[in-house]
Amino acid sequence: MEFRYLGNSGLKISEITYGNWLTHGSQVENDVATACVHAALDAGITTFDTADVYANTAAETVLGKALQDERRESLEIFTKVYFPTGPKGHNDTGLSRKHIMESINGSLRRLQTDYVDLYQAHRYDVETPLEETMQAFADVVRAGKALYIGVSEWTAEELRAGHSLARELGFQLISNQPQYSMLWRVIEEEVIPASEDLGISQIVWSPVAQGVLSGKYKPGAAVPAGSRAADEKGGADMIRRWLSDDVLAAVHRLQPVAEEAGLTMAQLAVAWVLQNRNVASAIIGASRPEQVASNVKAAGVRLKPEIMARIDEAVGELAERDPARTKSPAARLV
């Protein structure tokens, strides 16, 4: 495993982060989830990402139990706040001071830790003054409940405003967690240049495009039984946009590229996002321990320029690049 600094800070995180978004507490049994966490640890992963909203807080609980016997100082544990949790009442969502303060306490309790290394705004809250949100984050840091603050899916303009307030309030905004893959490149035009100016790194989610870039889905064929695309509890909705025959045909063209690089298709996809110097880590998930052991091999890979060019040629215009696709929710989801 290799490690990178997170933003303009002294915090190092593993190039591969283990995340439990669509699995722990909902899609896989707790013993399998624990086995996946232990496989991540065995592979050298020290960075773990979750959120209070995942499985309506259950994912944090599963992760906390899986890590309870590990040396806390050797881990980087990340979680997030914004989306509705619990009974989803009128104050159970957003980035108000009330919700942030109550949410951090709940997350720490479920994760069985005194602090998180990174506390992230899961989205930008258009209904709460940014000053209120950033002051609450500053107080969370000063209370020792979080060491650093990050965000997720913020626009370049929102990053600049949040970073400025963080500096005024005496804490660091060091990361953004956007979707990023060969097929979803919307952060490249605006978010990454702004982040580089501000000293903010990307911790990217869905580098394998919900599994599509693994090559498991074939043009004109039914989705495999047991795959994410067959899971109507949540996975199918997220992956459906990538299941058109033209996209799947483009992914099929990547197979010889992966073989030339000596990688599996999934490893190639993870390695590709890590070639971007503004990306500190790629988040992988797993429903089986062996998936972790395989995907972690993308760490430390340096893809040759000709391999990168062939990837661009294979994907072509099918990749989504419109920076406007990074946008704040219009209203809270309650």
Helices (H), the chain: 30-42, 58-67, 97-111, 130-142, 156-169, 191-198, 235-239, 245-252, 255-261, 265-274, 289-295, 305-315
| Distance (Å, whole) CA 2 – CA 279 | 13
| Distance (Å, whole) CA 168 – CA 77 | 26
- The one catalytic residue among 54, 82, 119, 217: 54
Residues of the chain with pLDDT under 70: 22-28, 219-240, 332-334
Structural domains present in the chain = 3-325 (3.20.20.100)
Cα-Cα-Cα-Cα torsion 150, 153, 159, 163, nearest 10 degrees, comes to -10
Evaluated on CA atoms 261, 264, 265, 266, the torsion sign reads negative
Per-residue pLDDT, 222: 58
Identify the CA nearest to 210 among candidates 243, 253, 178: 243
| Distance (Å, whole) CA 156 – CA 160 | 6
Per-residue pLDDT, 287: 83
Per-residue pLDDT, 210: 86
Q: What is the DSSP string of 239-300?
A: HGGG-SHHHHHHHHTTHHHHHHHT--HHHHHHHHHHTSTTEEEEEE--SSHHHHHHHGGGTT
Q: Please tell me what DSSP assigns to residue 54.
A: G
* Helix axes 97-111 and 130-142, enclosed angle (nearest 10): 40
Q: Is 54 a catalytic residue?
A: yes
